[in-house]
Amino acid sequence: MPRYRLTVEYDGGPYRGFQAQAALPTVQGEIERAVKAFCGQTLRIHAAGRTDTGVHAAGQVIHLDLDKDWPAVTVMRAINAHLMPAPIAILDARQVSDAFHARFSAVGRRYLFRILNRPGPPALERGKVWHVKAPLDAEAMDHAAQVLVGLHDFTTFRDAACQSKSPVKTLDEARVERQGEILAVTFAARSFLHRQVRSMVGSLAEVGRGAWTADDLAAALAAADRAACGPVAPPQGLSLMAVDYPADAV
């Protein structure tokens, strides 16, 4: 049974997250419906990450097993045709070995959170950014973000419903950069806790507003207590940008 690795882009706004749910619109449900329409096969796809309601993706990775050995380009084109007009697109498809797993073979994930920092609300980018009216100090946020880099107990930035076995994670990169009216907040790690990124962004915004210092953020991290977290940023500014795999994960 041939296995295919697909790179997927989607607007998470209309969906109740990635993971399939009975009677609710989800990204996984849409893709599985499109696959069935293409080849008649009912299956379950596997993803590198289960994004929450309203969260987007520019580089989500999934894998699926098909009964027939189709050319990868045919799989991509056919699924895209049956996804229309849903805001979901297959960007790349390739056949891989049975050893490849979209989630368990991954060695890195990169998220981008975009904050629109201006008095006026978004019109063209509504649903794609977090609108913060108050001026934010991007340099202060970037400086503070460095206390999060490394191996830490991230309990403070872990959602109460998180199912991860351990709150200890290694954050490889944290960066805040102003790009005009947009603050681009980037995080990279092998894996993340449930709502970890949104929790960290919300606390960094407190630094940007001047309500917290870098020391306050460090203290919140050291507390290992969810109550020490700042307000959690909303989902619409968040996108899964890329998933990394070893060169031999084919």
Question: What would the pLDDT profile of 134-189 be if each residue is shown by its tens digit?
Answer: 999 999 999 999 999 999 999 999 998 888 999 999 999 999 999 999 999 999 99
Asked whether residue 79 carries a pLDDT value surpassing 90, the answer given is yes
Domains along the chain? 3-105 (3.30.70.580), 108-243 (3.30.70.660)
Q: What are 11-60's pLDDT values in tens digits?
A: 999 999 999 998 899 999 999 999 999 999 999 999 999 999 999 999 99
Helices and strands (H and E) in the chain: how many: 5, 10
Write down the pTM of the prediction: 0.95
Active site residues: 52
DSSP track, 40-94: S-----EES--PPTT-EEEEEEEEEE-SS---HHHHHHHHHHHHTTSSEEEEEEE
Q: What are 177-231's pLDDT values in tens digits?
A: 999 999 999 999 999 999 999 999 999 999 999 999 999 999 999 999 999 999 9
pLDDT score at 249: 72
Nearest CA among 127, 110, 109, 116 for reference residue 205: 116
Helix boundaries (H) for the chain: 27-39, 72-83, 138-145, 196-209, 214-223
**CA triplet 104, 50, 240: central angle to 5 degrees?**
90
Looking up tokens 């913060």, which residue turns up? 132
